[in-house]
A = this chain, B = another copy of it.
Amino acid sequence: MSHHDQISFKTTGPTQGRSGRFKRRSRSLSQSSTDSYSSGSYSGSSSEDDDVSPREKVQYNSKNFKGFCVRNIKQAAFGRREIEIAEQEMPGLMLLRKRAEGEKPLKGSKIIGCTHITAQAAVLIETLHALGASVRWSACNIYSTQNEVAAALAEAGFPIFAWRGETEDDFWWCIERCILSDDWQPNMILDDGGDATHMMLKKCPETFKLIKGIVEESVTGVHRLYQLSKSNKLSVPAMNVNDSVTKVKFDNLYCCRESILDALKRTTDIMFGGKQVVVVGYGEVGKGCCAALKGLGAIVYITEIDPICALQACMDGFRVVKMDEVVRIADVIITASGNKTVVTRQHLDRMKNGCIVCNMGHSNTEIDVDSLRTPDLTWEKVRSQVDHIIWPDGKRILLLAQGRLVNWSCSTVPSFVVSITATTQALALIELFNAPQGRYKKDVYLLPKKLDEYVASLHLPAFDAHLTELTDDQAKYIGLNKAGPFKPNYYRY
Protein backbone atom coordinates (compact mmCIF):
# COMPACT_ATOMS: atom_id res chain seq x y z
CA MET A 1 0.00 0.00 0.00
CA SER A 2 1.58 3.16 -1.14
CA HIS A 3 -0.10 5.12 1.59
CA HIS A 4 1.35 3.68 4.74
CA ASP A 5 -1.10 4.07 7.53
CA GLN A 6 0.89 6.36 9.67
CA ILE A 7 -1.05 5.94 12.82
CA SER A 8 -1.46 2.23 12.99
CA PHE A 9 1.73 1.50 14.79
CA LYS A 10 0.67 3.50 17.74
CA THR A 11 -2.89 2.43 17.95
CA THR A 12 -2.94 -0.78 19.80
CA GLY A 13 -6.63 -1.41 19.52
CA PRO A 14 -10.00 -0.04 18.65
CA THR A 15 -10.84 3.15 20.44
CA GLN A 16 -14.18 4.43 21.48
CA GLY A 17 -15.36 7.77 20.34
CA ARG A 18 -14.50 9.62 17.28
CA SER A 19 -12.32 12.53 17.95
CA GLY A 20 -9.50 13.06 20.29
CA ARG A 21 -6.24 12.08 18.94
CA PHE A 22 -7.23 11.56 15.38
CA LYS A 23 -9.12 14.76 15.26
CA ARG A 24 -6.32 16.68 16.74
CA ARG A 25 -3.99 15.15 14.29
CA SER A 26 -6.20 16.32 11.52
CA ARG A 27 -5.46 19.83 12.41
CA SER A 28 -1.82 19.61 11.92
CA LEU A 29 -2.11 17.68 8.74
CA SER A 30 -4.68 19.94 7.37
CA GLN A 31 -2.29 22.72 8.01
CA SER A 32 0.31 20.84 6.16
CA SER A 33 -2.05 20.29 3.31
CA THR A 34 -2.53 24.00 3.11
CA ASP A 35 1.14 24.12 3.06
CA SER A 36 1.22 21.87 0.09
CA TYR A 37 -1.01 24.18 -1.85
CA SER A 38 1.50 26.88 -1.44
CA SER A 39 4.68 25.07 -0.85
CA GLY A 40 6.43 26.93 -3.57
CA SER A 41 5.87 30.29 -2.10
CA TYR A 42 6.20 29.43 1.54
CA SER A 43 8.68 26.89 2.55
CA GLY A 44 11.23 27.20 -0.13
CA SER A 45 12.36 23.71 0.63
CA SER A 46 14.49 22.38 -2.11
CA SER A 47 14.49 18.72 -2.78
CA GLU A 48 18.14 18.44 -1.88
CA ASP A 49 17.31 19.18 1.72
CA ASP A 50 14.99 16.23 1.83
CA ASP A 51 17.69 13.79 0.87
CA VAL A 52 19.63 14.17 4.07
CA SER A 53 18.08 13.13 7.35
CA PRO A 54 17.94 16.00 9.82
CA ARG A 55 19.58 13.68 12.32
CA GLU A 56 22.70 13.77 10.23
CA LYS A 57 22.88 17.50 9.84
CA VAL A 58 24.14 20.05 12.31
CA GLN A 59 22.25 23.29 12.18
CA TYR A 60 22.57 26.49 14.17
CA ASN A 61 20.03 29.18 14.67
CA SER A 62 20.98 32.83 14.38
CA LYS A 63 22.03 32.90 18.04
CA ASN A 64 24.32 29.96 17.57
CA PHE A 65 22.03 27.56 19.37
CA LYS A 66 22.05 24.00 18.06
CA GLY A 67 20.03 22.01 20.62
CA PHE A 68 17.25 21.09 18.19
CA CYS A 69 16.65 18.91 15.20
CA VAL A 70 14.42 20.18 12.38
CA ARG A 71 14.29 19.87 8.63
CA ASN A 72 15.74 23.26 7.72
CA ILE A 73 16.38 26.15 10.07
CA LYS A 74 16.35 28.53 7.12
CA GLN A 75 12.58 28.20 6.83
CA ALA A 76 12.18 29.98 10.18
CA ALA A 77 10.91 33.24 8.73
CA PHE A 78 8.11 31.50 6.85
CA GLY A 79 7.14 29.65 9.98
CA ARG A 80 7.17 32.79 12.07
CA ARG A 81 4.67 34.36 9.72
CA GLU A 82 2.38 31.36 10.03
CA ILE A 83 2.63 31.54 13.80
CA GLU A 84 1.74 35.21 13.74
CA ILE A 85 -1.30 34.49 11.62
CA ALA A 86 -2.35 31.76 14.04
CA GLU A 87 -1.93 34.12 16.99
CA GLN A 88 -4.54 36.39 15.45
CA GLU A 89 -7.09 33.60 15.43
CA MET A 90 -6.24 32.22 18.88
CA PRO A 91 -7.42 35.12 20.99
CA GLY A 92 -8.26 33.08 24.07
CA LEU A 93 -4.83 31.58 24.35
CA MET A 94 -3.18 34.93 23.67
CA LEU A 95 -5.36 36.54 26.32
CA LEU A 96 -4.30 33.89 28.81
CA ARG A 97 -0.69 34.62 27.91
CA LYS A 98 -1.21 38.31 28.45
CA ARG A 99 -3.04 37.90 31.73
CA ALA A 100 -0.70 35.41 33.31
CA GLU A 101 2.58 36.62 31.89
CA GLY A 102 3.32 38.71 34.96
CA GLU A 103 2.38 36.00 37.38
CA LYS A 104 4.35 33.23 35.66
CA PRO A 105 2.26 30.37 37.06
CA LEU A 106 4.43 27.79 35.32
CA LYS A 107 7.68 29.10 36.73
CA GLY A 108 9.75 26.12 37.67
CA SER A 109 7.84 23.74 35.46
CA LYS A 110 9.79 21.62 33.01
CA ILE A 111 7.43 20.28 30.40
CA ILE A 112 7.97 17.51 27.91
CA GLY A 113 5.67 18.09 24.99
CA CYS A 114 4.74 15.54 22.39
CA THR A 115 2.09 16.90 20.03
CA HIS A 116 1.61 17.80 16.42
CA ILE A 117 3.98 20.59 15.53
CA THR A 118 1.82 23.19 13.86
CA ALA A 119 1.47 26.93 13.93
CA GLN A 120 -1.23 26.58 16.56
CA ALA A 121 0.92 24.28 18.66
CA ALA A 122 3.67 26.85 18.41
CA VAL A 123 1.37 29.46 19.89
CA LEU A 124 0.72 27.07 22.77
CA ILE A 125 4.41 26.34 23.26
CA GLU A 126 5.32 29.99 23.30
CA THR A 127 2.47 30.70 25.69
CA LEU A 128 3.72 28.05 28.11
CA HIS A 129 7.15 29.61 27.86
CA ALA A 130 5.77 33.08 28.51
CA LEU A 131 4.05 31.69 31.60
CA GLY A 132 7.34 30.52 33.01
CA ALA A 133 7.71 27.01 31.68
CA SER A 134 10.82 25.44 30.29
CA VAL A 135 9.99 22.96 27.53
CA ARG A 136 11.40 20.27 25.24
CA TRP A 137 9.18 19.18 22.36
CA SER A 138 8.77 16.39 19.84
CA ALA A 139 6.08 15.42 17.36
CA CYS A 140 3.34 12.91 18.06
CA ASN A 141 2.95 12.06 14.39
CA ILE A 142 5.52 11.40 11.71
CA TYR A 143 3.64 13.23 8.95
CA SER A 144 2.08 16.21 10.60
CA THR A 145 4.97 18.53 11.38
CA GLN A 146 4.97 21.88 9.64
CA ASN A 147 8.68 22.11 8.97
CA GLU A 148 8.79 25.87 8.78
CA VAL A 149 7.02 26.16 12.12
CA ALA A 150 9.50 23.76 13.71
CA ALA A 151 12.25 25.92 12.25
CA ALA A 152 10.72 29.07 13.67
CA LEU A 153 10.55 27.49 17.11
CA ALA A 154 14.16 26.37 16.86
CA GLU A 155 15.15 29.83 15.77
CA ALA A 156 13.42 31.16 18.87
CA GLY A 157 15.58 28.87 20.95
CA PHE A 158 13.22 26.01 21.72
CA PRO A 159 14.72 22.50 21.85
CA ILE A 160 12.48 21.07 19.17
CA PHE A 161 12.90 17.63 17.62
CA ALA A 162 10.53 17.06 14.74
CA TRP A 163 10.21 17.07 10.97
CA ARG A 164 7.73 15.88 8.47
CA GLY A 165 8.40 12.40 7.21
CA GLU A 166 10.19 10.92 10.17
CA THR A 167 10.77 7.20 10.18
CA GLU A 168 9.44 5.23 13.09
CA ASP A 169 12.94 5.12 14.43
CA ASP A 170 13.23 8.88 14.06
CA PHE A 171 9.97 9.24 15.91
CA TRP A 172 11.18 7.47 19.04
CA TRP A 173 14.59 9.08 18.80
CA CYS A 174 12.99 12.52 18.89
CA ILE A 175 10.93 11.73 21.97
CA GLU A 176 13.96 10.31 23.67
CA ARG A 177 15.93 13.46 22.98
CA CYS A 178 13.28 15.33 24.92
CA ILE A 179 13.20 12.99 27.86
CA LEU A 180 16.86 12.33 28.28
CA SER A 181 18.63 15.57 28.70
CA ASP A 182 21.65 15.81 30.96
CA ASP A 183 20.91 19.05 32.63
CA TRP A 184 17.14 19.09 32.46
CA GLN A 185 14.76 17.03 34.53
CA PRO A 186 11.11 17.10 33.38
CA ASN A 187 8.31 17.50 35.90
CA MET A 188 5.27 17.76 33.60
CA ILE A 189 4.11 15.99 30.44
CA LEU A 190 1.82 17.38 27.75
CA ASP A 191 0.99 14.39 25.61
CA ASP A 192 -1.11 13.60 22.58
CA GLY A 193 -1.43 9.86 22.20
CA GLY A 194 0.51 8.78 25.26
CA ASP A 195 3.81 8.01 23.57
CA ALA A 196 5.93 10.38 25.63
CA THR A 197 4.21 9.20 28.77
CA HIS A 198 4.83 5.55 28.02
CA MET A 199 8.38 5.96 26.87
CA MET A 200 9.21 7.82 30.02
CA LEU A 201 7.42 5.26 32.16
CA LYS A 202 9.52 2.55 30.59
CA LYS A 203 12.87 4.23 30.21
CA CYS A 204 13.00 6.38 33.31
CA PRO A 205 10.59 4.91 35.84
CA GLU A 206 12.29 6.75 38.68
CA THR A 207 12.12 10.14 37.05
CA PHE A 208 8.55 9.43 36.07
CA LYS A 209 7.53 9.30 39.70
CA LEU A 210 8.71 12.88 40.14
CA ILE A 211 6.34 14.15 37.50
CA LYS A 212 3.71 16.47 38.96
CA GLY A 213 1.11 15.85 36.30
CA ILE A 214 0.24 14.64 32.84
CA VAL A 215 -2.12 16.39 30.46
CA GLU A 216 -3.48 14.23 27.67
CA GLU A 217 -5.87 15.23 24.93
CA SER A 218 -6.35 12.21 22.68
CA VAL A 219 -8.86 9.39 22.83
CA THR A 220 -6.07 6.87 22.61
CA GLY A 221 -3.90 8.53 25.20
CA VAL A 222 -6.77 8.88 27.62
CA HIS A 223 -7.65 5.24 27.10
CA ARG A 224 -4.12 4.24 27.94
CA LEU A 225 -4.14 6.42 31.04
CA TYR A 226 -7.31 4.79 32.32
CA GLN A 227 -5.71 1.38 31.71
CA LEU A 228 -2.64 2.43 33.68
CA SER A 229 -4.89 3.67 36.42
CA LYS A 230 -6.83 0.41 36.53
CA SER A 231 -3.66 -1.61 36.79
CA ASN A 232 -2.33 0.72 39.47
CA LYS A 233 0.61 1.79 37.36
CA LEU A 234 -0.35 5.44 37.21
CA SER A 235 1.86 7.03 39.81
CA VAL A 236 0.97 10.65 39.01
CA PRO A 237 -2.23 12.61 38.53
CA ALA A 238 -3.39 13.06 34.95
CA MET A 239 -5.87 15.39 33.32
CA ASN A 240 -8.19 14.12 30.60
CA VAL A 241 -8.65 17.08 28.31
CA ASN A 242 -10.34 15.04 25.64
CA ASP A 243 -13.65 14.88 27.44
CA SER A 244 -13.83 18.42 28.69
CA VAL A 245 -16.94 20.37 27.75
CA THR A 246 -15.14 22.84 25.58
CA LYS A 247 -13.47 20.08 23.65
CA VAL A 248 -16.61 18.08 23.06
CA LYS A 249 -19.05 20.85 22.44
CA PHE A 250 -16.84 23.26 20.49
CA ASP A 251 -13.99 21.36 18.96
CA ASN A 252 -16.12 18.57 17.59
CA LEU A 253 -19.35 20.28 16.64
CA TYR A 254 -18.21 23.63 15.32
CA CYS A 255 -14.97 22.45 13.88
CA CYS A 256 -16.82 19.99 11.68
CA ARG A 257 -19.47 22.52 10.78
CA GLU A 258 -16.72 24.81 9.58
CA SER A 259 -14.60 22.29 7.74
CA ILE A 260 -16.88 19.84 5.93
CA LEU A 261 -17.94 22.28 3.21
CA ASP A 262 -14.40 23.42 2.78
CA ALA A 263 -13.04 19.92 2.43
CA LEU A 264 -15.63 18.99 -0.18
CA LYS A 265 -15.22 22.20 -2.17
CA ARG A 266 -11.44 22.13 -2.29
CA THR A 267 -11.42 18.58 -3.56
CA THR A 268 -14.43 18.39 -5.84
CA ASP A 269 -15.80 21.90 -6.46
CA ILE A 270 -19.19 20.38 -5.74
CA MET A 271 -22.31 22.52 -5.72
CA PHE A 272 -24.23 21.87 -2.49
CA GLY A 273 -27.70 23.13 -3.43
CA GLY A 274 -30.09 20.22 -3.83
CA LYS A 275 -27.48 17.53 -3.31
CA GLN A 276 -28.62 14.42 -1.47
CA VAL A 277 -26.15 13.65 1.27
CA VAL A 278 -26.03 10.70 3.64
CA VAL A 279 -24.29 11.31 6.94
CA VAL A 280 -23.44 8.16 8.90
CA GLY A 281 -23.79 9.02 12.56
CA TYR A 282 -25.45 11.93 14.31
CA GLY A 283 -23.00 12.58 17.12
CA GLU A 284 -21.27 15.94 17.45
CA VAL A 285 -19.33 15.39 14.24
CA GLY A 286 -22.42 14.40 12.30
CA LYS A 287 -24.45 17.24 13.81
CA GLY A 288 -21.82 19.73 12.70
CA CYS A 289 -21.73 18.37 9.16
CA CYS A 290 -25.51 18.33 8.88
CA ALA A 291 -25.95 21.89 10.09
CA ALA A 292 -23.51 23.19 7.50
CA LEU A 293 -24.89 21.15 4.64
CA LYS A 294 -28.50 22.04 5.41
CA GLY A 295 -27.51 25.67 5.56
CA LEU A 296 -26.36 25.52 1.95
CA GLY A 297 -29.42 23.72 0.60
CA ALA A 298 -28.38 20.09 0.68
CA ILE A 299 -30.90 17.37 1.55
CA VAL A 300 -29.43 15.28 4.34
CA TYR A 301 -30.22 11.74 5.42
CA ILE A 302 -28.90 10.18 8.62
CA THR A 303 -28.06 6.62 9.56
CA GLU A 304 -27.78 5.89 13.27
CA ILE A 305 -27.53 2.96 15.65
CA ASP A 306 -28.42 4.95 18.75
CA PRO A 307 -32.13 5.74 19.12
CA ILE A 308 -31.51 8.90 21.12
CA CYS A 309 -29.29 10.45 18.47
CA ALA A 310 -31.73 9.19 15.85
CA LEU A 311 -34.60 10.95 17.58
CA GLN A 312 -32.57 14.14 17.70
CA ALA A 313 -31.99 13.84 13.96
CA CYS A 314 -35.71 13.42 13.39
CA MET A 315 -36.60 16.46 15.45
CA ASP A 316 -33.91 18.46 13.65
CA GLY A 317 -35.56 17.70 10.32
CA PHE A 318 -33.49 14.84 8.90
CA ARG A 319 -34.80 11.52 7.65
CA VAL A 320 -33.27 8.60 9.54
CA VAL A 321 -32.75 5.70 7.18
CA LYS A 322 -30.70 2.60 6.65
CA MET A 323 -27.89 2.92 4.19
CA ASP A 324 -29.55 0.46 1.84
CA GLU A 325 -32.54 2.72 1.44
CA VAL A 326 -30.60 5.67 0.12
CA VAL A 327 -27.29 4.41 -1.17
CA ARG A 328 -28.53 4.41 -4.77
CA ILE A 329 -29.64 8.03 -4.76
CA ALA A 330 -26.87 9.60 -2.71
CA ASP A 331 -24.69 12.31 -4.25
CA VAL A 332 -22.38 12.39 -1.24
CA ILE A 333 -21.79 9.96 1.61
CA ILE A 334 -19.98 11.14 4.73
CA THR A 335 -19.03 8.74 7.50
CA ALA A 336 -18.96 10.06 11.05
CA SER A 337 -19.80 7.02 13.12
CA GLY A 338 -16.61 6.25 15.00
CA ASN A 339 -17.06 2.68 13.90
CA LYS A 340 -15.55 0.56 11.17
CA THR A 341 -16.81 -0.62 7.82
CA VAL A 342 -19.95 1.46 7.88
CA VAL A 343 -19.56 1.84 4.12
CA THR A 344 -19.00 -1.58 2.59
CA ARG A 345 -18.09 -2.79 -0.86
CA GLN A 346 -21.73 -3.81 -1.28
CA HIS A 347 -22.75 -0.22 -0.66
CA LEU A 348 -20.07 1.07 -3.01
CA ASP A 349 -21.23 -1.30 -5.72
CA ARG A 350 -24.71 0.17 -5.53
CA MET A 351 -23.82 3.87 -5.48
CA LYS A 352 -24.60 5.91 -8.53
CA ASN A 353 -22.07 7.31 -10.95
CA GLY A 354 -20.28 10.33 -9.55
CA CYS A 355 -21.07 9.68 -5.91
CA ILE A 356 -18.54 11.26 -3.53
CA VAL A 357 -17.46 9.20 -0.52
CA CYS A 358 -15.48 10.59 2.36
CA ASN A 359 -14.87 10.19 6.04
CA MET A 360 -15.10 12.74 8.85
CA GLY A 361 -15.02 10.26 11.67
CA HIS A 362 -12.44 7.70 12.47
CA SER A 363 -9.05 6.95 10.99
CA ASN A 364 -9.38 5.09 7.72
CA THR A 365 -11.58 2.22 8.76
CA GLU A 366 -15.08 3.66 8.39
CA ILE A 367 -15.09 3.19 4.63
CA ASP A 368 -13.95 -0.25 3.58
CA VAL A 369 -11.32 1.13 1.23
CA ASP A 370 -9.43 -2.12 1.06
CA SER A 371 -12.44 -3.77 -0.52
CA LEU A 372 -11.94 -1.47 -3.48
CA ARG A 373 -8.51 -2.82 -4.26
CA THR A 374 -9.74 -5.61 -6.49
CA PRO A 375 -8.69 -6.26 -10.08
CA ASP A 376 -12.06 -5.38 -11.56
CA LEU A 377 -11.83 -1.79 -10.37
CA THR A 378 -9.53 0.88 -11.72
CA TRP A 379 -8.11 3.59 -9.51
CA GLU A 380 -7.37 6.93 -11.12
CA LYS A 381 -5.89 9.75 -9.14
CA VAL A 382 -7.47 12.91 -10.56
CA ARG A 383 -6.31 15.46 -8.04
CA SER A 384 -4.43 15.54 -4.82
CA GLN A 385 -6.55 13.56 -2.32
CA VAL A 386 -9.12 12.63 -4.97
CA ASP A 387 -9.26 9.16 -6.46
CA HIS A 388 -11.74 8.00 -9.02
CA ILE A 389 -12.60 4.35 -8.56
CA ILE A 390 -13.89 3.10 -11.89
CA TRP A 391 -16.24 0.14 -12.21
CA PRO A 392 -16.20 -2.07 -15.30
CA ASP A 393 -19.35 -0.35 -16.60
CA GLY A 394 -17.68 3.03 -16.39
CA LYS A 395 -19.26 4.11 -13.12
CA ARG A 396 -16.96 6.37 -11.14
CA ILE A 397 -16.95 6.84 -7.39
CA LEU A 398 -14.96 9.78 -6.01
CA LEU A 399 -13.06 8.68 -2.94
CA LEU A 400 -11.54 11.50 -0.92
CA ALA A 401 -8.32 11.18 1.05
CA GLN A 402 -8.52 7.42 0.62
CA GLY A 403 -11.02 7.25 3.44
CA ARG A 404 -8.86 9.07 5.95
CA LEU A 405 -10.34 12.05 7.77
CA VAL A 406 -11.27 14.39 4.97
CA ASN A 407 -10.82 17.57 6.93
CA TRP A 408 -7.57 16.01 8.14
CA SER A 409 -6.32 16.00 4.59
CA CYS A 410 -8.29 18.42 2.50
CA SER A 411 -9.17 21.51 4.49
CA THR A 412 -7.97 23.61 7.33
CA VAL A 413 -9.44 23.70 10.77
CA PRO A 414 -10.19 27.07 12.36
CA SER A 415 -7.42 28.17 14.68
CA PHE A 416 -10.09 29.66 16.90
CA VAL A 417 -11.47 26.24 17.75
CA VAL A 418 -7.97 24.89 18.30
CA SER A 419 -7.39 27.79 20.64
CA ILE A 420 -10.14 26.52 22.90
CA THR A 421 -8.49 23.15 23.30
CA ALA A 422 -5.00 24.61 23.60
CA THR A 423 -6.14 26.96 26.32
CA THR A 424 -7.65 24.01 28.14
CA GLN A 425 -4.30 22.23 27.94
CA ALA A 426 -2.46 25.22 29.29
CA LEU A 427 -4.88 25.61 32.18
CA ALA A 428 -4.69 21.91 32.94
CA LEU A 429 -0.92 22.19 33.19
CA ILE A 430 -1.19 25.22 35.46
CA GLU A 431 -3.77 23.51 37.65
CA LEU A 432 -1.74 20.35 38.11
CA PHE A 433 1.51 22.21 38.62
CA ASN A 434 0.10 24.51 41.27
CA ALA A 435 -2.47 22.30 42.97
CA PRO A 436 -1.96 21.97 46.70
CA GLN A 437 -0.75 18.62 47.90
CA GLY A 438 -3.59 16.15 48.00
CA ARG A 439 -6.02 17.81 45.63
CA TYR A 440 -5.16 15.32 42.92
CA LYS A 441 -4.39 11.70 43.58
CA LYS A 442 -2.83 9.16 41.24
CA ASP A 443 -5.83 9.15 39.00
CA VAL A 444 -7.31 10.57 35.79
CA TYR A 445 -9.31 13.78 36.20
CA LEU A 446 -11.53 16.00 34.17
CA LEU A 447 -10.80 19.69 34.21
CA PRO A 448 -12.74 21.39 37.05
CA LYS A 449 -15.87 23.02 35.66
CA LYS A 450 -14.71 26.40 36.82
CA LEU A 451 -11.67 26.16 34.58
CA ASP A 452 -13.85 25.00 31.70
CA GLU A 453 -15.82 28.18 32.21
CA TYR A 454 -12.63 30.19 32.35
CA VAL A 455 -11.53 28.78 29.01
CA ALA A 456 -14.83 29.88 27.51
CA SER A 457 -14.62 33.31 29.08
CA LEU A 458 -11.18 33.86 27.56
CA HIS A 459 -12.70 33.40 24.11
CA LEU A 460 -15.66 35.72 24.49
CA PRO A 461 -13.87 39.02 23.83
CA ALA A 462 -13.16 37.86 20.30
CA PHE A 463 -16.90 38.08 19.71
CA ASP A 464 -17.22 41.30 21.63
CA ALA A 465 -19.56 39.33 23.85
CA HIS A 466 -20.51 40.79 27.22
CA LEU A 467 -21.35 38.51 30.12
CA THR A 468 -23.98 39.48 32.61
CA GLU A 469 -23.08 39.28 36.29
CA LEU A 470 -25.38 37.86 38.89
CA THR A 471 -26.56 40.27 41.55
CA ASP A 472 -26.04 39.15 45.12
CA ASP A 473 -29.72 38.52 45.34
CA GLN A 474 -29.83 36.40 42.26
CA ALA A 475 -26.78 34.41 43.25
CA LYS A 476 -28.37 33.66 46.58
CA TYR A 477 -31.72 32.81 45.04
CA ILE A 478 -30.24 30.34 42.63
CA GLY A 479 -27.63 29.09 45.06
CA LEU A 480 -24.57 29.95 42.99
CA ASN A 481 -21.30 31.67 43.62
CA LYS A 482 -21.17 34.83 41.54
CA ALA A 483 -17.89 33.71 40.03
CA GLY A 484 -19.21 30.32 39.04
CA PRO A 485 -19.23 27.45 38.44
CA PHE A 486 -22.66 28.11 37.02
CA LYS A 487 -23.82 24.61 36.30
CA PRO A 488 -23.76 21.23 38.03
CA ASN A 489 -21.28 18.72 36.70
CA TYR A 490 -23.95 16.65 35.00
CA TYR A 491 -25.26 19.60 33.00
CA ARG A 492 -25.48 18.62 29.36
CA TYR A 493 -25.13 21.95 27.48
Of B254, B295, B305, B493, the residue contacting A486 (CB under 8 A) is B305
Is A204 interfacial (CB-CB < 8 Å)?
Answer: no
Closest to A313 in B: B465
In whole Å, how far is A365's beta carbon from the nearest beta carbon of chain B?
8
Measured between beta carbons, the chain B residues less than 8 angstroms from A299 are 317-319
Digit string of A59-95 for contact with B (CB within 8 Å is 1, else 0)?
0000000000000000000000100010011000000
A273 touches B (CB below 8 Å): yes
Q: How far is the CA of A262 from the CA of B260 in the complex (A)?
A: 11
Residues of B contacting A303 with CB < 8 Å? 468
Residues of B within 8 A of A320 (CB): 460, 463, 465-467
In angstroms, how far is the closest chain B Cβ from the Cβ of A490? 7
CB-based nearest B residue for A489 = B490
Q: A339-B477, A416-B271 are in contact. Are A465 and B308 (CB under 8 A)?
A: no
Question: Chain A 293-310 against B: per-residue CB contact (8 Å), 1 yes, 0 no?
Answer: 011111100011111111
The answer to whether A311 touches B258, judged by C-beta atoms less than 8 angstroms apart, is no
- The answer to whether A85 touches B382, judged by C-beta atoms less than 8 angstroms apart, is yes
Per-residue CB proximity of A1-30 to B under 8 Å, as 1/0? 000000000000010100000000000000
| Contact of A478 (CB < 8 Å), options: B304, B325, B338, B479 | B338
Cα of A313 to Cα of B311 in the assembled complex, Å: 23
Nearest-CB distance from A252 to chain B (Å)? 10
**In the complex, chain B residues whose CB is within 8 Å of the CB of A384:** 38, 41
**Chain B residue contacts of A81, Cβ below 8 A:** 382
Closest beta carbon of chain B to A448's beta carbon, Å? 13
Given contacts A310-B460, A456-B311, contact A474 B414 (CB under 8 A): no
Whether B490 and A243, one on each chain, are in contact in the complex, defined by CB atoms closer than 8 angstroms, is yes
A320 to B463: give the CA distance in the assembly, Å: 8
Interface string of A232-273 (1 = CB under 8 A from B): 000000000001011011100010011001100110011111
Contact indicator A317/B41 (Cβ below 8 Å): no
**B-chain residues with CB within 8 Å of residue A321 when the two chains form the complex:** 465-466
Across the interface, do B258 and A474 meet the contact criterion of CB distance under 8 Å? no
What is the distance, in angstroms, from A391's C-beta to the closest C-beta of chain B?
Answer: 15
Q: Which residues of B contact A469 (CB under 8 A)?
A: 305
Known contacts being A273-B317, A296-B292, A311-B460, is A470 close to B305, with CB within 8 Å? yes
A103 at the interface (CB under 8 A from B): no
Number of identical monomers bound together in the oligomeric complex: 4
Task: Give the residue among A318, A323, A469 with the most B Cβ atoms within 10 A.
Answer: A318
Q: Report whether A297 and B271 are in contact in the complex, using a CB–CB cutoff of 8 Å.
A: no
CB contacts (< 8 Å) of A16 on chain B: these are 478-479, 488
- Closest B residue to A14 by beta carbon equals B477
Return the CB mask of A461-493 against B: 1 if under 8 Å, else 0: 011111111110110011100001011101011
Interface pair B243/A467, CB less than 8 Å apart: no
Nearest CB to that of A413 among chain B residues? B269
- Whether A417 sits at the interface, judged by CB under 8 Å, is yes
Q: A272 — nearest CB in chain B belongs to which residue?
A: B258
One of B294, B296, B354 near A88 (C-beta < 8 A): B354
A453 to B312, CA, bound (A): 12
Of residues 265 through 292 on chain A, the ones whose CB sits less than 8 Å from some CB of chain B are 265-266, 269-274, 276, 292
Cβ-based interface call for A180 (8 A)? no
Query: Is the CB–CB distance between B383 and A308 below 8 Å?
Result: no
Q: Is there contact, CB below 8 Å, between B297 and A316?
A: yes
Listed by A's residue number, 5 A-B pairs whose Cβ atoms lie within 8 Å are A295-B296, A307-B454, A314-B465, A319-B465, A339-B478
7 extra A-B contacts, CB within 8 A, seeds A270-B414, A297-B316: A40-B40, A246-B308, A261-B265, A311-B456, A329-B464, A338-B478, A340-B474
**Leading 5 A-B pairs by shortest Cβ distance:** A295-B295, A271-B414, A320-B465, A307-B457, A307-B456
